[in-house]
């Protein structure tokens, strides 16, 4: 099962549906009700321990914009974190990092680090803990 199908399946267990967004920014391709979703996965079977989201792809951080991070473990999607975009600015978290590239702004990005230390902090963003936010 790919990450998109996994996300759709998990949302269905909460009676929520993921829609493809028409004419949106590149990257923000999905909607759950009025919430915009940027889908990203990280393969923890490899040495990959962080993902980077180009600022230009994510666009302006706002209350109804979320990064859906799917952890791939043992070659299958296993866990979904739904991170409010504004939380990416929490520089004291050691999980979310803002990488500014002043000479080439198109290379600026938000980085999300996933490690054994980060998992307990990411739990609050687990899909089941974010359902009420999605249903608003």
Q: Residue 25: pLDDT above 80?
A: no
pLDDT at 71: 94
* Secondary structure of residue 25 in the 3-state scheme: coil
Query: What is the tens place of the pLDDT at every residue in 44-63?
Result: 988 888 999 999 888 889 99
* Mean of per-residue pLDDT scores for the chain: 89
Kindly state the helix (H) or strand (E) to which residue 7 belongs, with its residue range.
helix 3-12
Where exactly are the structural domains of the chain? 3-135
| pLDDT at residue 27 in the model | 62
Q: CA–CA separation, 21 vs 24, rounded Å?
A: 6
Report phi then psi at 9, rounded to 5. -60, -45
Confidence (pLDDT) at 116? 85
Q: Could you tell me if 96 and 90 are in contact, meaning their C-beta atoms sit under 8 angstroms apart? A: yes
- CATH no. of 3-135: 3.40.1350
Tell whether the model's pLDDT for residue 102 goes beyond 60.
Answer: yes
């Amino acid at each position: 099962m790919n990450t998109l199908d996994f996300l759709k399946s998990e949302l269905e267990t909460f009676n929520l549906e993921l829609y493809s967004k028409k004419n949106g920014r590149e990257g923000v391709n999905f909607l759950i009700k009025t919430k915009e979703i940027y889908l990203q996965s990280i393969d923890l079977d490899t040495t990959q321990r962080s993902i980077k989201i180009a600022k230009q792809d994510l666009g302006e951080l706002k209350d109804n914009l979320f990064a859906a991070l799917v952890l791939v473990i043992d070659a299958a999607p296993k866990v979904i974190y739904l991170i409010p975009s504004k939380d990416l600015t929490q520089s004291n978290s050691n999980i979310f990092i803002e990488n500014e590239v002043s000479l080439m702004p198109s290379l600026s990005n938000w980085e999300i680090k996933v490690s054994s230390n980060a998992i307990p902090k990411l739990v609050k963003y687990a899909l089941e803990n974010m359902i009420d936010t999605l249903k608003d």
